Amino acid sequence: MAQAAKPVYLIGNWKSHKTLTEAEEFVANYSGTSDHVVAICPPLPFLPRMAELLKDKPLLKLGSQDVSQYPYGAYTGEVAIEMIKDFASFVIVGHSERRRYFNETNAAVAAKARQVIDAGLTPIVCVDEPYLESQLAYFEKNEFERMIIAYEPLSAIGSGKPDSPEEADAMAQKIIQLAAADVPVLYGGSVTAENIASFTACSNISGALVGGASLEVDSWTALVSKVS
């Protein structure tokens, strides 16, 4: 019996871009189709409105860019998973920008991932080199089996200089070995429509976490269409 093809995840991270009107226009103009899992992660305040608009576009899923490490309760300014779970399928945690600018620790990232898992959603846990082993050490095998990992080489984030597919594939293989689980590994860092296929063709890479190329509907549609 032939082995089933691995799922491919294409996750667009909009970061702190777009007004609500611009986000609505993106969804209205998106008409891409794919056999893969395609999701956008808009600014968090837009999630309810995006979920409403995407009822007519089931092939485009939603994710959140972050979540509180704490449960529902007296945590001023935080957004608990209970406030997200009705709208999102995925939650990004531990993005390199969160670690760098907001001093998120490995323990905090793990706590966020567990909030997501306990709510029945899928965390996309971002890791980078040279901190890979210490970042992964905070998780157990049963947790790896319920998450996606996004490998982000710090030199490639927003630089326009992506890692080579060969190096990214080797890092993905290392992550899978460290996790001792068949965890999907995405590549993130200057991904475009021109280079996406070279990454998804790698045997250990299961998709991409995409920043800038996900912001415009034309570039996002082109990128999605390049993944066979």
CA distance 164 to 99: 24
Helices marked H in 149-216 — which ranges?
A: 165-179, 196-200
What whole-number distance in Å separates Cα of residue 186 and Cα of residue 202? 11
Question: Do the beta carbons of residue 7 and residue 34 sit within 8 Å?
Answer: no
Of the listed 97, 104, 143, 152, which one is catalytic? 152
List of residues 6+ apart from 46 with CB closer than 8 A: 18, 20, 23
- What are the structure tokens assigned to 107, written together? 């323990």
Distance CA(150)–CA(43), nearest Å, equals: 19
Is residue 152 among the annotated active site residues?
yes
Which two structure tokens, joined as six digits, stand for 225? 């269409």
97 as an active site residue: the answer is: no
What is the rounded CA–CA span in Å between residue 84 and residue 82? 6
Active-site residue among 82, 95, 97, 166? 95
Task: Report how far residue 76's alpha carbon sits from residue 112's, in angstroms, rounded to the nearest whole number.
Answer: 16
Mind telling me the catalytic residues?
A: 95, 152
